[in-house]
Amino acid sequence: MPRYEVTIEKDACDGIFACLTRDPRFVEGADGLAKIDPGADPVYDCEGSVDDDAERVVATFDDDRLEEARQAATACPTDAIVVEEVDG
Ligand code: SF4
């Protein structure tokens, strides 16, 4: 399984939420911007760690859903989402 990091740059996020429809791990946060919640997917159990600071949300996953995260990144009109494979 690929290990990968999903980053949302808060400055770039406009709260358009195209990402949510591509990957249910993206959720709307209280601030109106996208967040990542590994447990938000109602269909699949998903484990991952999330760091959330003033500038960005960075989530690390180790599963077979890299392509979904990539689709969310592609759907984001402001290119706020970056998906990168990382070494295990
Ligand atoms: S699609 Fe992009 S701009 Fe819209 S909420 Fe998701 S990350 Fe933010």
Domains of the chain plus CATH, in order, are: 3-86 (3.30.70.20)
- Kindly calculate the radius of gyration of the chain based on its CA atoms and give it in whole angstroms: 12
For residue 88, the model assigns a pLDDT of 61
By alpha-carbon position, which residue is closest to atom 8 of ligand 1?
13
Answer left, alpha or beta for residue 17, where phi above 0 means left and psi between -120 and 50 means alpha. left
Q: Quick: pLDDT tens for 5-18.
A: 999 999 999 999 99
Q: Is 81 in the pocket of ligand 1 (CB under 6 A)?
A: yes
DSSP one-letter code for 47: -
Q: How far lies 13's CA from each of 20, 35, 45, 63, in Å? A: 13, 10, 26, 25
Q: Is 14 in the pocket of ligand 1 (CB under 6 A)?
A: yes
Q: How far lies 38's CA from each of 51, 63, 77, 78, in Å? A: 12, 11, 22, 22
By alpha-carbon position, which residue is closest to atom 2 of ligand 1?
76
Q: Quick: pLDDT tens for 23-78.
A: 999 999 999 999 999 999 888 878 899 999 999 999 999 999 999 999 999 999 99
For residue 5, the model assigns a pLDDT of 97
